[in-house]
Every structure is written in structure tokens, then in C-alpha cells.
Amino acid sequence: MPLKDTIVALSTPPGRSGIGVIRLSGARSLAIARRLVQDENFQPESHRAVLKNLRESGSGEILDRALLTYFKAPNSFTGEDVLELSCHGSPVLLRSLLDIILNLDARLAGPGEFTLRALANGRLNLSQAEAVRDLINAQTKAAVKQAQLKKLQRQLDSWQNLNGAMKTIGFD
């Protein structure tokens, strides 16, 4: 699975909703955003949402007015440039936007690929990635609590391992 390309996926469950979130990760995220808003000078501030019109590639027709949030690498979940589009949650609109983004040289992300990139880029360790998976897959409140406890236990274990290693090399 190549990690150099730009990936895209719907981050909210499929179906009708008030809001649908589309997430991109990769070096072309900002260039794709510029094409979507049809503004080559678009330079959003990292970690700030901005309201913009999203436009059809050919006609320039407004498809939706959406919040765009840009997370500049390396200060994002994946460690890459990340863009989140918070749009209206119409399945037809979201599918149209995904199609446009795929035609702008992004690739549909596989399951867990955003977390895989975070792991590959050192933003998460394996235990943290497993905790994310467990939390996403939790079906009950008890499973959510269990995932949170496992995450906490993994953090404590890693601190204890670090403490032991420091003592071994003479740091008391």
C-alpha cells in the first residue's frame, strides 16, 4: 500500500445526516482543496475551520457551502497534510464530492489506512493504533470503557518500560 499518494474517505457513516465529513491525507490535500474552492491562492491557517463554497470542476457551479479544516504536516493525526470537509450529509452530495476528489488525483483509502499512516509516520505507536481500532469497533458502552482502559494500561506499560530503560543506563 503506497504511503506517498493522497487518500480520501468518508469519515462519517454512510446515510443521510446533517453533516458528512470527508477526510483527505497526503501531500496533495491542499492542492485538491484549492481546486474544490477554485482559488489557487487559498491558504488556510492550520487547525482553523473556514467556510467556503465547494464548486463543480467544469462549470464552477456551487455544490455546497462547507467548513474546511486544514491540518499542516507534521501536526496532524497522520503526520501528513490533512484536510477535512464538513459538508451537508446528503449521500448524493458526498458521493459527488468524493468522485470529484478522486478525479483530482486522490485515491480511496482502505479500511484503517489513516491510522496506518499515523503509525508509519510515528504519530502513533502500535498500542495506540490498536486502541483506536478497539474504540472505533466498540459496540457497547462496556466495550468503549474497555478500549479506554486498554489504552490507559498501554500508556502506563510504556512509561514503566521507559523508566526501566532509563534506570538501566544510569538515569535514576
User: What are the residues whose beta carbons fall under 8 Å from the beta carbon of 13, sequence distance 6 or more?
Assistant: none
Min mean pLDDT across 8-12, 97-101, 150-154, 155-159 is at 155-159
Provide the β-strand partners of residue 23. 9, 84
What is the rounded average pLDDT of the residues 149-166? Answer: 63
Domain ranges of the chain: 7-111, 126-168
Cα–Cα separations (whole angstroms), residue 73 to 19, 80, 124: 25, 4, 14
In the Cβ-directed half-sphere of 135, how many Cα atoms lie within 13 Å? 13
Reply yes or no on whether the pLDDT at 74 is more than 90: yes
- The CA distance from 166 to 40, in Å, is 50
> Which amino acid makes up residue 120?
A
Instruction: Name the nearest CA neighbour of 159 among 136, 117, 127.
Output: 127
pLDDT tens per residue across span 12-49: 988 899 999 999 999 999 999 999 999 999 999 999 99
In the Cβ-directed half-sphere of 2, how many Cα atoms lie within 13 Å? 9
Reply yes or no on whether the pLDDT at 163 is more than 70: no
Domain 7-111, CATH 3.30.1360.120 — does that match? yes
Place of cell 474546511: 68
- The CA distance from 6 to 29, in Å, is 7
pLDDT above 90 coverage of the chain, percent: 65
Reply yes or no on whether the pLDDT at 71 is more than 60: yes
Instruction: Name the nearest CA neighbour of 45 among 65, 70, 62, 63.
Output: 70
Banded pLDDT at 124 (limits 50, 70, 90): confident
107-108 and 62-71 strand pairing: unpaired
pLDDT of 126 reads 82
pLDDT of 117 reads 94
- Is-above-0.85 flag for pTM? no
- The CA distance from 57 to 72, in Å, is 24
